[in-house]
Structure 1
Amino acid sequence: MYIFLWIVAIVLIVYAMVKFLKYRPLTPFMPYKYNFGKRRVTFRKVLDLLEKTNAKMIVETGTSRAGLKGAKGDGAATIVFGKWAKENGAFMHSVDISEDSVKGSQAEVDAQELNNHVTVHLSDSLLFLKNFKEKVDFLYLDSYDYSKDLEVQRLSQEHHLKEFMAIENQLHENTIVLIDDCRLPNGGKGKTVIAYMLKNDWKILIEAYQVLLVRKEFKF
């Protein structure tokens, strides 16, 4: 009987340890209750680089429609980097073509009191980026939902390349670029734009579920 109880206890301890090791919080920056899963490594690196480069302008395509409830699912980047902007005197623009997504994201921006440092725009991202006149310190590409459909995959990849090219002239030698959903079938969202960037003086810092890129002459 005692042996059985010991075995059960050991199994429960191992299970708890596995659960703990798989949990991916961004503490102390974000509360422990939010699990950022496969994006934690790249998010942590970006937060470090934002501080080192004294970033002031953040641009995101594809807003966080579920707010912090989507931390593990879609990363809740609007809120994560919006919070960083608030704490560091920076500003973030997030753009999405979906009215529902914008409403969802705006609700969380309101709840987190980020309005003085985050603006969520309802617009086609290509039009928004083409008309954006300020220099961008951090560009986060996460628009055009991916799927198993090969045509949707192609269109999503092409769209992300078009987004990058639309804002390319506003990027500088220390701009940070993060592309989401790259470990999906057929290369994910970043396949085409990453290939373009690597041919144009950019390099990969982290290649994971998200891909983090900087200029070859990046100083930090």
Structure 2
Amino acid sequence: MILYYILGVIALALLIHFGIKFSKHKSLYPFMPFKYNFRRRRNTFKKTLELLDKRKSKIIVETGTSRKGLEATRGDGAATIVFGKWAKQNDAKMYSVDISEDSVKGSQSAVTEQGLDKNVSVLLQDALVFLAEFGQKIDLLYLDSYDYSRTDVDIQQKSQEHHLKEFQLAEDKLHEQTIVLIDDCGLPGGGKGKLVVEYMIEKGWEVLIDAYQILLIKKGTSV
């Protein structure tokens, strides 16, 4: 009887342990293999993918590339691979631009490994220059450049100002069905999206999801 009690306690402890661990595992299965954990970005990624499908998107622009590919789904999100895979499946085109040579090399290696070269272009360029010169309408704009700091107020402000400039340079390339996703917003000081979200709301955009990332669409458009 005591043995059964001990085994029961052990079983309960294991269930609690693995139940908590499982609850923290946020996959995009079946779109991505179950083993990849997207944690705090899962819900915004999932909704963005749904909107891309519904709106039959064709052009995706990302500022700040996924330097570690799928190795960092929990930390960096691996958006280049996630949206690059969607682009491949839907005959769309993704442009991922970054000013860091090391980041571009890492991302390009992951893109090639995943067989996404035909649909994803990883570019070594200042995002502000790229957006100013870009000549196509953008269906998804994903802002994730200029690394943020949890403690340095000066870096926080510069990152926020940079993301606002990126949006303003892209603004004339956007349209009624454009989706905008901003990373690293749930951080001290307001995160990367503080200034750009305020600006967008004044310009007729609305927040669809406000989590670690912020997802916005034009006010009044269908979800």
TM-score past 0.5 threshold: yes
* In 1: Cα distance, 2:11 partner to 2:175 partner: 56
Indicate the residue corresponding to 2:124 in structure 1: 122
Equivalent positions of 1:1-220 (< 5 A) are 1-2=2-3, 3-147=5-149, 148-220=151-223
* In 2: Cα distance, 1:30 partner to 1:216 partner: 30
* In 2: Cα distance, 1:146 partner to 1:40 partner: 20
Amino acid at match of 2:197: I
Say which is worse superposed, 15-24 or 136-145, in terms of deviation.
15-24
Indicate the SS of the match to 1:116. coil
- Contact kept, 8 Å, 1:138 with 1:176, in 2: the verdict is yes
Say which is worse superposed, 7-16 or 102-111, in terms of deviation.
7-16
- Deviation at 1:8? 1.5
- Deviation at 1:218? 1.6
Amino acid at match of 2:176: E
* In 2: Cα distance, 1:219 partner to 1:26 partner: 23
* In 2: Cα distance, 1:21 partner to 1:73 partner: 17
* In 2: Cα distance, 1:66 partner to 1:140 partner: 17
* In 2: Cα distance, 1:135 partner to 1:91 partner: 12
Percent of aligned pairs sharing the same letter = 59
* In 1: Cα distance, 2:222 partner to 2:13 partner: 48
- Deviation at 1:28? 0.1
For structure 2, the residue ranges without an aligned partner over 5 or more in a row are none
Q: In the comparison of the two structures, how many residue pairs are matched?
A: 220
Q: CA RMSD in A?
A: 0.7
Taking structure 1 as the reference length, the TM-score comes to 0.99
Taking structure 2 as the reference length, the TM-score comes to 0.97
